Amino acid sequence: MKILLTCTSIDERERNETDHDSHYPLGLAYLQSCVEKYKSFQEVETHFLNNVCWDECFNKLKNEMKNFNPDVVGISIMTHSRVSSFRFIDYIIKEYPEVKIVLGGIHPTIMWEQIVNKYKNAVVVIGEGEITFGELLECYEKNSPIGEVAGIAYHDGQKIVSTPERDLIDNLDILPFPKHDLFLFEGKTVANLLTSRGCPFKCNFCVLDHVSLKKVRYRSAKNVADEVEEILKMCPSVRNIWLHDDAFMINKKLTMEICDEIIKRDIKTTFTCSARFRPVSEELVKKMEQAGFNHVLFGLESGADNVMRGMRKGITKNHIRYAVSLFAKSNIKTTVFLIAGLPGETKETVKETINFVQELQNINYLFYDDIGVCAIYPGAEIYDISKESKMVVPGYGVINDDYWLTDGDVPVYELENTHKQLLEWKEEIRDGVSFFRMMISPKNFLQQRKIIPSILSYSWKFNFLLKQPSINILAKYNLVDEVIYSFFTNEREKLIEKFSTIVESEMVEEILKNLTNKEKKKFINDYKQQRTIDKEVLSEWKDIISNMSENSINGKSKENDVEVALKMANVAAKTAHKKANPRLKVITR
């Protein structure tokens, strides 16, 4: 039996066709490796087409249907790729009606009833697909009924059938490693890997709980390290392995074990991971740096208290400050994601976000270029809110489930603010936190000037931003000897302060060049006032950090920090407008 697996072109505004080191679909890689291990008689081809335009995607798949002539086509669908996936399904039904179609991924898992009703000859795999897909193939091979396969939905000719729910795979070590060689090639420098599956939280904009059911399952440290070694042996050009866990670091003990295993084996590569702001400790950060982690990405989304409570992440500003301050002591780069326009967003919360992010940048500079705008996905709480409140999607009308059968882009959350307003706030935030926006206007410069010392430290540490201008200033002001001296006398802070003053004066001179005499007079006056304001703000920030410790933030409770965070999130959930994921037995603990 021949099986074609694919993921089709995603929406143009979300697609990056030039990314040589783009992420690849581990879900399909796991599917093929499982099929080959447990159903070795199958012939499988997999094609990753998310990052190509629809015409190229469609031509490739048409050729595969003709030349490979598959018996089964499996399509992994995200909400962003649903339009092209539906077009391909329509083509298969018309040209190859005998081919069996199996659909999986986050979008079909949530919208299975709608999809099965539209495509009555397709089968939807709900949730994790490795075991379910294998059992389906066995039924197809034997030409036996599929009704005994758990975790699927299909149309039997008279009605929609959904079989009993498939249990999650508790022991992830039983799975073969994903088939990385489908997507790795000589010259590719980034590989992808999962050490766990699931997240115990339910943010109001997120849909991942529909697959993981708020349950986290882990792989053993040995199993993870074995896969890392296999990747590096398979593709020596790989220099960085990106861990795509929903909540890496949430289990401190296992994170430490993975790091220890990597260190013990003397594995030479770097790691990037996504993580939560808690739990985190100085011991953990040091161990991660020793193991080769060089980049950690956190989801802040908003720096406004009211918006943060609505998200229900189970964190406070002090948790965030503490985590950022710990990574500031390391050589691990920190990225903190932002989303404009979440529920509760106002012009005041936008200003609060800018102020808080600048406070974090003062602790440990965070680089920003672009930020996101809150989008609506089926299965997210904000989608339920939008439906119940009859949010209007421009060009469509009141949002409802039928929207997901149209060719429309994933809409933004416009229940409280217009898309135009959200884009304006997005740009306002960028003006306040992005280095690349700092010199666009005198206003932007004045807003960001207080974090120049942090920008300089970041530039020197990561060879970025102000590194070359800094070298020029060293020569211009004869500071080379002073820099060398600072490394031996522990006077780095004094040097940064002096250097910052020089850099700032150069920036001011550059701004003045482009101003009229009247504008210069106003800018100089504003500059003097801003320096006074910034001095007070920096003093306040310093006091906050000096009074922080692990105990003051997490308390001396004997409870696990993750459990404490879950309690915080669930208390907030009780007062939030919320609809349960029907697959969750218990939505709050």
- Convert the pLDDT of each residue in 115-150 to its tens digit: 999 999 999 999 999 999 999 999 999 999 999 999
**Rounded Cα distance, 460 and 331, in Å:** 11
Same domain for 382 and 497, yes or no, is no
160-171: average pLDDT: 95
The CATH number of the domain holding residue 360 is 3.20.20.70
Is 578 inside any structural domain?
no
Q: Which of 319, 312, 337 is nearest to 280 (CA)?
A: 319
- Checking if the pLDDT of 86 tops 80, the result is yes
Same domain for 473 and 378, yes or no, is no
Is 559 inside any structural domain?
no
pLDDT of 584 reads: 43
Q: Which residues of 378-403 are buried (b: 16+ CB within 10 A; e: fewer)?
A: bbbbbbbbbbeeebebeeeeebeeeb
Same domain for 467 and 399, yes or no, is no
Last residue of a domain, one of 132, 162, 192: 162
Is 438 inside any structural domain?
no
Confidence of residue 211 (pLDDT cuts 50, 70, 90): confident
Confidence of residue 588 (pLDDT cuts 50, 70, 90): very low
State both tokens at 521.
Answer: 């007079």
**Rounded Cα distance, 483 and 332, in Å:** 23
DSSP assignment of 433-496 equals: H-GGGTTT-HHHHHHHGGGHHHHHHHHHHHT-TTHHHHHHHHHHTT-HHHHHHHHHHT-HHHHH
**Domain tally, the chain:** 3
Same domain for 381 and 336, yes or no, is yes
Alpha-carbon torsion angle 519, 522, 528, 532, nearest 10: -120
Confidence of residue 497 (pLDDT cuts 50, 70, 90): confident
pLDDT of 562 reads: 65
- Checking if the pLDDT of 403 tops 70, the result is yes
DSSP letter, residue 412: B
Confidence of residue 19 (pLDDT cuts 50, 70, 90): low
450 and 537 Cβ atoms separated by less than 8 Å: yes
**Ramachandran region, residue 478 (left: φ > 0; alpha: ψ -120 to 50; beta: rest):** left
Cross-strand partners of 485 = none
pLDDT of 37 reads: 86
Last residue of a domain, one of 101, 128, 162: 162
Alpha-carbon torsion angle 293, 295, 300, 301, nearest 10: -140
**Rounded Cα distance, 582 and 112, in Å:** 13
For residue 378, whether the previous peptide bond is cis, meaning omega lies within 30 degrees of 0, is no
pLDDT of 478 reads: 76
**196: Cβ–Cβ under 8 A, 6 or more apart, which residues?**
172, 216, 217, 218, 219, 245, 246, 247, 248, 250, 251, 254
465-484: average pLDDT: 73
pLDDT of 21 reads: 72
Same domain for 354 and 483, yes or no, is no
For residue 379, give its domain range: 184-433
Same domain for 424 and 464, yes or no, is no
Q: Which of 447, 456, 445 is nearest to 508 (CA)?
A: 445
152-158: average pLDDT: 95
pLDDT of 78 reads: 96
213-227: average pLDDT: 95
pLDDT of 81 reads: 96
Confidence of residue 100 (pLDDT cuts 50, 70, 90): very high
Average pLDDT of the chain is: 90
399-419: average pLDDT: 96
On the CB side of 537, CA atoms within 13 Å amount to: 17
269 and 232 Cβ atoms separated by less than 8 Å: yes
Is 108 inside any structural domain?
yes
Give tens-digit pLDDT for 451-462: 999 999 899 889
270-275 vs 122-125, strand pairing mode: unpaired
- Range scoring the smallest mean pLDDT among 374-383, 543-552, 564-573: 564-573
Please give the share of the chain, as a percent, with pLDDT higher than 70.
90
DSSP run (H or E) holding 501? helix 492-513
238 and 190 Cβ atoms separated by less than 8 Å: yes
Is 568 inside any structural domain?
no
- Checking if the pLDDT of 223 tops 60, the result is yes
Report the Cα 242 to chain-centroid distance in Å: 11
Same domain for 54 and 107, yes or no, is yes
Same domain for 35 and 119, yes or no, is yes
Q: Which of 460, 205, 223, 241 is nearest to 342 (CA)?
A: 205
Q: Which of 283, 278, 206, 214 is nearest to 249 (CA)?
A: 278
Residue in the structure block whose two tokens are 């003051």: 552
286-297: average pLDDT: 97
Is 566 inside any structural domain?
no
- Checking if the pLDDT of 572 tops 70, the result is no
The CATH number of the domain holding residue 87 is 3.40.50.2300
Is 207 inside any structural domain?
yes
Confidence of residue 546 (pLDDT cuts 50, 70, 90): confident
Same domain for 471 and 542, yes or no, is yes
275-288: average pLDDT: 94
Is 481 inside any structural domain?
yes
**Rounded Cα distance, 273 and 307, in Å:** 25
Please give the share of the chain, as a percent, with pLDDT higher than 90.
78
Same domain for 127 and 208, yes or no, is no
Q: Which of 235, 238, 572, 163 is nearest to 381 (CA)?
A: 572
Give tens-digit pLDDT for 324-360: 999 999 999 999 999 999 999 999 999 999 999 999 9
DSSP assignment of 115-139 equals: HHHH-TTEEEEPS--HHHHHHHHHH
Q: Helix 480-489 and helix 467-476: axis angle, to 10°?
A: 110
Confidence of residue 365 (pLDDT cuts 50, 70, 90): very high
**Rounded Cα distance, 470 and 455, in Å:** 11
Same domain for 330 and 200, yes or no, is yes
Same domain for 342 and 399, yes or no, is yes
pLDDT of 435 reads: 95
pLDDT of 176 reads: 96
